[in-house]
Amino acid sequence: MERPEEDGIELLHSYAHGFMVSQVLFTSCQLGVFDTLAQAPLHAATLAARLGCSLTGTRRLLDACVALRLLSRDASGLYANTDMAATYLTSDGPKSQRDMMLYLAKTPYQLWAHLGHAVREGQNQYLRAFGTPSDDLFAAIYRADEERVAFHRALEATWRLEGRRVLTAFDLSVFPVICDLGGGVGALARACAALYPGSRVSALDAPDVLREARMCGGGGGGVRLCAGDFFRDALPRADLFLLARVLHDWPDAACRRLLRRLRAALRPGGAVLLVEAFPPRRAPAARAALLRMLSLNMLLQTRGRERAPRHYRRLLAAAGFPRARLARPHGPDAGVYGAMLATTAAPRPGPPIGSPAEPGPAPAHG
């Protein structure tokens, strides 16, 4: 039987060397290891030649991937993708997260090198990491065309994996007009239009983002693209606004201001669907830890933070949404994102689909 201190040092070592695991994953995606092996299993020498890499370095990287269960190796020395890699790490995988890995490998990874400064200063680190002022937050996030494209491809990867689940957590078919605010290149809006063909769906974002969306076909799929700044410009009238991973970018005062603007733009009986990181009630330890890391990431990248459901309910109630119901992620492949439906009156839609919703009585303002 192992002693507690032996368990402790093993866990400590896994934490201390976690950055090495990330770099093996990121580098393999950047070099094209998983995409190349999607065509056929290969020996290390053949793969090294195709990637234009040294045999020594390639073999060590592949063996590290085997240890991490990203690759398998048979008795003849052929390397192949595991099911996990084939599903999530190839460009054509059904739930591909490759673009998210490529984004994490660049901007967030460099920002995390300045975590100590962020903790001491209480603010994001774009200026220190990239020499970019963050007075205009999204001017910093979109500081170059290449960066903006990488950011939105990463978001598309997120909604490819979790979009359908959060959009079907509640029956949204009762809302004839739906607008996705901060909808990026339209990935979530397209999923919404496909799921609810009886509704008119639009996506609103900055003009530069929408130009990119049109270039990659983001205006298709029955989705109308609208250019605008949701803090300053007139908002379209809608029955439902989607706010997917938007409020976590901003401090409380900005969130309340935005929610009040949405309340004024909604038609009678309208609602807001928040999609944020809402952990399951009994989240596995790894998922609970990830949510804490995400909150630190918001410190490094934005002006906002991850919030508990009760905090979102207070923000919503202060803005005129007295009812809020939460559908948390559930199941082994649930991810970390849940949906909160907030209404201006008694809830109109039927019960949530697929997971029990937690009722939200009107909380005290605060």
Residue 181: phi and psi, rounded to 5, are -85, 135
* Catalytic machinery residues: 248
CA distance 345 to 323: 7
- How far does CA 196 lie from the centroid of its chain? 22
